Structure 1
Amino acid sequence: MTGQTSSSMPKGMEWRSSTAFIISTVAIGMFTDLFLYGLVVPILPFILVDRIHVPPSEVQYYTSMLLACYAGAQVLFSMVAGYIADKVPSRQPPFLFGLAALFASTAMLFWGKSIPLLILARLLQGMSASVVWTIGLALIMDTVGTAKLGVTIGSIFSMISVGELAAPPLGGVLYKKGGSIAVFGIGVGLLGVDFIMRLLVIEKKTAATYGLVSESGEEDEEEGEASETSPLLSNGRTKQEELEMWRVPENQPDWIRNLPILYCLGNTRLLVSQLLAFTQATLLAMFDSTIVIEAQVLFGFDSLKAGLIFIPQILPCLVVGPLAGRAVDKYGARPIATLGLIFLSIPLVLLRIPHAGGAAEIAKMSAILSLSGIGISMISAPSIVEASYVVEQYHAANEDFFGKQGPYGQLYAMSSIAFSAGLTVGPVAAGAMRNSIGYGNMNAVMAGFCACVSLLAWRYLGTIPKKIDSI
């Protein structure tokens, strides 16, 4: 039953391998990654001028280049991280490597006094992000399976959305009050907590060698109930008939066999789920890059007050995220994603209403931002849950093709790429539209985009795939 003796069991094995601790470790890792990303963005121009002595005329160029370095590194390294995650026996070593890269990048951003060092720092930060997202989500899938993935992802994403939205204004405030040392001080503190948790965490499959839990985690006993009530399964078909719908033909080229997730990309459900991830990240980045400026223009806010305007948007994320995730587990991704996108389009349109003024106008904007926080929280869980379900079905029907661990690392690498692309496109598109058509019209365009994505979500999520002979 066990492959190890109890005398050799690591101390604290039970709580270190508990579902709650594993989920908390991944959540802290993702929170730290996005928080540090957002923390650095608003102070990059000041670092370039104050420390590197870049001429003011070149600040925009170097700022954009450094942002692009982060996104480019995350996109390029994500699939590598996913491939490694599916091949190595344990998720922990690459998870720790990602944190080491983040430590190094933070130190370089703090001490670096040349453009090449800052570029290297942002490349390492992007590399770390790819590892955190890819390994972290794969570890969550290993731990809870798809039965409780919705509520788990909803809770995690509500937490990291808070970090992503709060970090830029907080970074600006800290830099104003205490300089770069204050900004990076809070970053180092977070990294310390993150390091301790990643070092202590023990995977379920490691705990299984000591006979504490089954290798698939604590949720195995609920699989029967989940599969019987899951709205994602088609009614009237046996399990074997369901699996047959996901069968991969044998005539696949070597490059598909080496990266089997590429075959899954022929599934429209999977593609639309990645579009949801892109949409969420685009909107988060758009809010980051425009709300502070708009609050300064309309209400004359300084950096501290502009940062506080995010609070109404942040608070709903903490409450709605887990509830939306639980709803996805119960009703499936299609209705929650569709309703979330339609709901989100409403506050985006309403953001054209507030204008220059006093407390009444500030209250209007705060209320509208609160509604947008609800919408953002509703679309986070459906993306990961739907993508995980699709790949889980492919894996169950084709274990020889996908391997024992499945292509989950590669899947979450794709999710990382989609999210990173949204973080890259969001500020650029928002800035261009705000300058050309105005803030209100910019939000109206994004509302239309959300409405279009909602149609795709309703049409394609939760459908049985058509058989694909080969790619």
Structure 2
Amino acid sequence: MLRERLAIPEEEIQSYVARLLAAYAGASVLFALAAVGELMGPMFGGVLYEKTGYVGIFGVASGILGLDFLMRLLIIEKRTAAKYLSQQNGETNRRERGARDKECDGTASEADPLLPRNDGDAFKIWDETGRLVRVLPILVCFRNPRFVIGLALAFVQASLLAMVDATIPTEAEELFGFTSLQAGLLFIITNIPYLVLGPVAGWAVDRYGTKPAAVIGFAYLVPTLVLLRLPSDQLLEGSRNVILYSAILVLNGLGLAIIGSPSIVEVSDVVQKYDKANPEFFGENGPYAQLYEFNSVFFNLGLTVGPLVADGPRDSTGYGNMTLTFAVVSGVTAILSFCFIGGKSPIIRRIRISSVTCR
């Protein structure tokens, strides 16, 4: 099917699929681990603050940053690795370059389909681009609603993570009189389902696509976020209220695990299709560094906005109404995911076809 629809030579199908799956799986694991780190930070911070104070916290943070800097120095650049790979696999590289040149010059071969392909027309850049787009080519992808909503998923996911990080310690202190150590240990309850379900959720995205995971994950978080208000209502007393709060945190951890992968996989798919439809538009090195930077911008923007949005409603109307606000945001995100993520939903396509037929 790949050979017929994408005009990939038969001998290159296995290599093409392997690279594609590796890219998607790597992106899913990378950003799932980043989200786990975001959740685990407050837990370790609470333990260190209780035992060592500010000196221990910033000492460990400085050490981690130093290790990160050292690992970045040890990274082999793509261009450097390509020189050695080209020497070892010269024939393979020449065949791949020839296949790409064939796509660029429009010539046909026996492996090409008889009918022209229209799959890439939606991603073809036909008009002239402005100076800003020529400097930052990734901006052209904002024409596609899948790309925009995919970045919005990263923003909302980070906002939810930041809301959990910002409110668990203060709420635990007010409700139960927890110390920073005890509040930090509460994050283990959120991390365990994330660590257990995260790989399963990533496999589901690879197997069934981004739409089911995004819609189910954000829709599932609507009731679980609303349930966070129950401990504040003091329906139970003493340790039973702590157990209730912990159980609700576990439920929210499951939802956070489900929404960990769809964003980066979705935007990567859109960018890959733009790159395939416009081979020379993004330059020699491609658009993927720009993609990850934009994803990081939206993710970190969510980490910044999340606590700010959480503190406002919490201080003015209470913790319960604050969680209701984020539940509404999660519900709206689920609707947008259903409409746009993974392509337009069949329902919307049928509505558009019906409207055109009526005319």
Bin for the TM-score computed over the shorter chain = 0.7 to 0.9
Q: Does residue 175 of the first structure (1) align with residue 49 of the second (2)?
A: yes
Distance in 1, matches of 2:136 and 2:72, equals 27
**Residue of structure 1 equivalent to 2:180:** 303
Identity of aligned residues (%): 45
Shift in Å, 1:415: 1.2
What does residue range 62-81 of structure 1 map to in structure 2 within 5 Å?
none
Shift in Å, 1:205: 5.1
What does residue range 85-234 of structure 1 map to in structure 2 within 5 Å?
146-203=20-77, 206-211=80-85
1:190 is matched by which residue type in structure 2? I
1:453 is matched by which residue type in structure 2? T
> Does structure 1 retain, via aligned residues, the 8 Å contact 2:218–2:333?
yes
**Residue of structure 1 equivalent to 2:146:** 269
Q: Does residue 399 of the first structure (1) align with residue 273 of the second (2)?
A: no
Q: Does residue 421 of the first structure (1) align with residue 301 of the second (2)?
A: yes
Shift in Å, 1:335: 1.0
Distance in 2, matches of 1:255 and 1:145, equals 31
2:261 is matched by which residue type in structure 1? A
With normalisation by structure 1, the TM-score equals: 0.60
> Does structure 1 retain, via aligned residues, the 8 Å contact 2:146–2:270?
yes
Structure 1 261/354 Cα, relative in aligned 2: closer, same or farther at 3 Å? same
Q: Which blocks of at least 5 consecutive residues in structure 2 are unaligned?
A: 1-17, 97-113, 345-359
Per-residue CA deviations over 1:372-431 (Å, capped at 9, x if unaligned) read: 111112112110011011011001111122223222222222212211211111111100
1:374 is matched by which residue type in structure 2? L
Q: Does residue 350 of the first structure (1) align with residue 224 of the second (2)?
A: no
**Residue of structure 1 equivalent to 2:260:** 380
Q: Does residue 460 of the first structure (1) align with residue 334 of the second (2)?
A: no
Distance in 1, matches of 2:73 and 2:229, equals 48
Shift in Å, 1:444: 1.5
> Does structure 2 retain, via aligned residues, the 8 Å contact 1:333–1:386?
yes
Distance in 1, matches of 2:48 and 2:336, equals 42
2:135 is matched by which residue type in structure 1? N
**Residue of structure 2 equivalent to 1:434:** 314
With normalisation by structure 2, the TM-score equals: 0.77
Distance in 1, matches of 2:134 and 2:183, equals 51
Q: Does residue 280 of the first structure (1) align with residue 154 of the second (2)?
A: no
Distance in 2, matches of 1:422 and 1:338, equals 19
Distance in 2, matches of 1:215 and 1:431, equals 60
2:59 is matched by which residue type in structure 1? G
Structure 1 306/187 Cα, relative in aligned 2: closer, same or farther at 3 Å? same
After alignment, is 343-352 or 145-154 more displaced?
145-154
1:396 is matched by which residue type in structure 2? K
> Does structure 1 retain, via aligned residues, the 8 Å contact 2:197–2:258?
yes
Distance in 1, matches of 2:162 and 2:71, equals 28
> Does structure 2 retain, via aligned residues, the 8 Å contact 1:348–1:443?
yes
SS in 2 for 1:402: coil
Q: Which blocks of at least 5 consecutive residues in structure 1 are unaligned?
A: 1-143, 221-236, 465-471
Bigger relative contact order, structure 1 or 2 (CA pairs below 8 A, ≥6 apart): 2
Q: What is the aligned-residue RMSD (CA, Å)? A: 2.6
Structure 1 185/253 Cα, relative in aligned 2: closer, same or farther at 3 Å? closer
2:157 is matched by which residue type in structure 1? Q
What does residue range 25-44 of structure 1 map to in structure 2 within 5 Å?
none
Shift in Å, 1:204: 5.5
Per-residue CA deviations over 1:276-305 (Å, capped at 9, x if unaligned) read: 000011011111111111111111111111
**Residue of structure 2 equivalent to 1:125:** none
SS in 1 for 2:143: coil
> Does structure 2 retain, via aligned residues, the 8 Å contact 1:151–1:328?
no
Distance in 2, matches of 1:374 and 1:216, equals 44
Structure 1 180/205 Cα, relative in aligned 2: closer, same or farther at 3 Å? same
> Does structure 2 retain, via aligned residues, the 8 Å contact 1:173–1:303?
yes
Shift in Å, 1:172: 4.0
Shift in Å, 1:197: 2.6
SS in 2 for 1:301: coil
